[in-house]
Structure 1
Amino acid sequence: MTPTNILSVEAYFDLICPWCLIGKRHLETALGLLARERPDVTVHVEWRSYPLIPATPPDGIPYRDFYVARLGSPQAVAVRQAQVCHAAREAGLTLALDRIETFPNTLLAHRLVRFVRRQSGAEATAALIDNLFTRYFIRAQNIGDGQVLSDALAECGVDMPGASGTPVRHDLDWLPPLNGPDDLPPRTGLGVPHFVFNGTHSVSGSRPPAALLEAMQRALARAKQIATRTAA
């Protein structure tokens, strides 16, 4: 296998962002299209945490109050939620924004994602992220709560320290903080979702699958150009 048929994907996200959930679904669709077009390509996806509002209180704040303060009025909130729900439906998702009570701090959830990424790999990480998105946006659960996060981990089949003998710590204080070189975004002010393909081509925002596929194709073409020049 040569570098010309390997595609790396760095996907920056936050679990409180509905556009990240929609973007994840679009990415999965685009990867399916790429697999049919280029079955020779091996794809490696790395999910990178980007907490948007890390200063949110640990117990969270009232969901509706947060968005009214952020957008200016209940009417503005209704318009934005209708826009998000419409985009989600086009991606095959039905959100329950009207039932969410708590706007959570996601730092603990991202620490859990990092733990799974290091312990169990990319497939388990994607499954956990899906589970947490579903719990928040579809089941209207508080993903800042340690018990909810522990339940998500168990549902994904990942063991926590202590799960095989000693009592499990549902407070999750044992999780290391997000401060490693593989936990931090490449620059501040990054909008999410944000996808980087082969380190050369990027797409910001919840773009449709066709736009993501085009960026993937360009990244693979660029890799081929570089390999050709190197061989020459």
Structure 2
Amino acid sequence: MSKPTAITVDVVSDVVCPWCFIGQKRLDKAIAAAGDVEVHVRWRPFQLDPTIPPQGKDRRDYMLGKFGSEERIREIHARIEPLGDVEGINFAFDAIKVAPNTLDAHRLIRWAGAMSEEVQNRLVRRLFQINFEEGGNLGDHAVLIEAAREAGMDVSVVEALLPSDADVEAVQNEIATASRMGITGVPCFLLEGKYAVMGAQDAATLTDAIRQIAQAKANGVLENAG
């Protein structure tokens, strides 16, 4: 029996993006459906709003400033919540009190990835849950440290690194690279480093993309493309 073709999917996302949480769930389904392809997932940083201060902002005030009215905010949430239900996400938007700056969360995700793909995936899933289902503040170091512990990271290392500026520049450079590549919204699924699927596409679309790229790689045509 031949070995499955392996491909890498880089997911450019922000942990406070509800569409990215939906996209994560759909990617899981897509990978399961493309069982004949070995898919390796790496999470890449993006900040929807890097101007938020380190201490965060009151989410209600922030959302009002961004969307203009409570009615508009309710409309946005009402559009997203049923999609979350389908994917097994219990969006609890009213529980979210702080709009955080996510730079430190992305640093943590980077360190998790240095440990293993499995640890990084566990951490990203947990951060999505904390923010969207539990209303936790992802700018709070105590929250991030607990998430790291739950994901299987070395908490003593995380506790030492978070207050420092370790990898701040590296994460910001990755975000800048995504911008130069033309990524202006998330999620973005980058297959084999060059083929982009934009937005929280349905699982079938992602499965098709995974299979097509895997087949092209198996046939040796990716090296000649792009």
TM-score by length of 2: 0.88
Contact in 1 for aligned 2:45/2:171 (Cα 8 Å): no
Q: Map 1:82-231; keep pairs closer than 5 Å.
A: 82-118=78-114, 120-161=115-156, 168-169=159-160, 172-173=163-164, 175-179=166-170, 183-184=174-175, 185-188=177-180, 190=183, 191-227=185-221
Distance in 1 (CA, whole Å) between partners of 2:194 and 2:161 is 40
Contact in 1 for aligned 2:104/2:162 (Cα 8 Å): no
Q: Deviations over 1:137-181 (max 9, x none)?
A: 011010100111111111222113458xxxx44853263214269
What's the secondary structure of 1:47's corresponding residue? strand
What's the secondary structure of 1:43's corresponding residue? strand
Q: Deviations over 1:196-218 (max 9, x none)?
A: 11234321111110111111122
Specify the code of the residue in structure 2 equivalent to 1:187.
S
Residue 19 of structure 2 corresponds to residue 23 of structure 1: no
Q: Which residue does 2:51 correspond to in 1?
A: 55
What's the secondary structure of 1:172's corresponding residue? coil
Specify the code of the residue in structure 2 equivalent to 1:172.
P
Contact in 1 for aligned 2:106/2:171 (Cα 8 Å): no
Matched-pair identity in %: 29
Specify the code of the residue in structure 2 equivalent to 1:173.
S
Contact in 1 for aligned 2:4/2:38 (Cα 8 Å): no
Higher helix share: 2
Bigger CA radius of gyration: 1
Specify the code of the residue in structure 2 equivalent to 1:214.
D
**Structure 2 stretches lacking a partner, 5+ long:** none
Q: Deviations over 1:110-137 (max 9, x none)?
A: 111111111x111100101111111110
Distance in 2 (CA, whole Å) between partners of 1:229 and 1:160 is 41
Distance 1:83 1:28, change over 3 A: same
Give the root-mean-square deviation of aligned CA atoms: 2.6
Contact in 1 for aligned 2:14/2:48 (Cα 8 Å): yes
Q: Deviations over 1:43-86 (max 9, x none)?
A: 21111111121111111111111111111211000000111111
Distance 1:178 1:33, change over 3 A: farther
